[in-house]
Amino acid sequence: DAGVTQTPRHEVAEKGQTIILKCEPVSGHNDLFWYRQTKIQGLELLSYFRSKSLMEDGGAFKDRFKAEMLNSSFSTLKIQPTEPKDSAVYLCASSLSGFAEQFFGPGTRLTVL
Amino acid sequence: AQKVTQTQTSISVMEKTTVTMDCVYETRDSSYFLFWYKQTASGEIVFLIRQDSYKKENATEGHYSLNFQKPKSSIGLIITATQIEDSAVYFCAMRERNNNNAPRFGAGTKLSVKP
């Protein structure tokens, strides 16, 4: 079975650009999560979807971050406009249900100049 | 409110010894799920082991086991016979059963296993 896939693996953006990160969860999983990981802040939740419905939004990220589930097998995270402080690794994860463990993708490393 | 705390920033042990990593959590839910994950130097995060709050028996999985102390809201990860490949960052996470929120993660503990 394919795990969680994320594209691109690396992204370099100029300040003010719009970037879109993509994620495909494990087939059949109902829950999808977007996290941002930095050394200082650790793992921060950006968005959580259950069966395509938004269940939780990371409060600090509502301004310029927008995650969507276009269908049950594809999600995007849009950052608009990007700022240098957005430089981080963005992780997508999925789980079968609310009680199950999460499967993480390899992440997208974003650098904003 | 949900909260997960890992107070050990880093631990260094010799190969083939046993190590315990601490994790405490806060929850108002009577039913919840606890998870441990490992993040390797490459950045990959993998699930290791879980404990369901209603189970009294400590979970085990290979050379990983848990020390679940419910009255103390504590879930320690024990790695026996450590190997160099166990060097990684370990995250503890909690998910409440009666809550539609995402799991909460601790800050992580960096484990270094030395030969």
Sheet holding A19-24, edge to edge: A5-7, A19-24, A74-79, A65-71
**Contact yes or no for A102 and B100 at CB 8 A:** no
> Residue A2's pLDDT is what?
79
Nearest neighbour of B50 by CB, restricted to A33, A56, A101 = A101
What is the arithmetic mean of pLDDT over A74-101?
Answer: 94
A16-70 confidence digits (pLDDT tens): 999 999 999 999 999 999 999 998 888 999 999 999 899 998 877 778 999 999 8
> Residue A1's pLDDT is what?
62
User: How much is the CA Rg of chain A, to the nearest whole Å?
Assistant: 13
Nearest neighbour of B102 by CB, restricted to A33, A99, A103 = A33
Nearest to B104 by CA among B75, B62, B61, B82: B75
> Residue A112's pLDDT is what?
97
> Residue B51's pLDDT is what?
98
Beta-carbon pairs below 8 A across chains A and B: 43
B16-58 confidence digits (pLDDT tens): 999 999 999 999 999 999 999 999 999 999 999 999 999 999 9
The answer to whether A82 and A11 have CB atoms below 8 angstroms apart is: no
H or E element: which one contains B56?
none
Ranges A51-60, B4-13, B24-33, B77-86: which has the least confidence: A51-60
What is the arithmetic mean of pLDDT over B68-77?
Answer: 97
> Residue A41's pLDDT is what?
85
Nearest neighbour of B105 by CB, restricted to A43, A98, A107 = A43
Chain A residues closer than 8 Å to B59 by CB: none
CA–CA separation, B61 vs B3, rounded Å? 25
**Contact yes or no for A102 and B37 at CB 8 A:** yes
**Contact yes or no for A42 and B105 at CB 8 A:** yes
Residue A112 makes CB contacts below 8 A (sequence gap 6+) with: A12, A13, A14, A15, A17, A82, A83, A84, A85, A86, A87
| Tokens representing residue A86 in the block | 């957005």
Average pLDDT, chain B: 96
* Strand-strand pairing, A74-79 and A31-38: unpaired
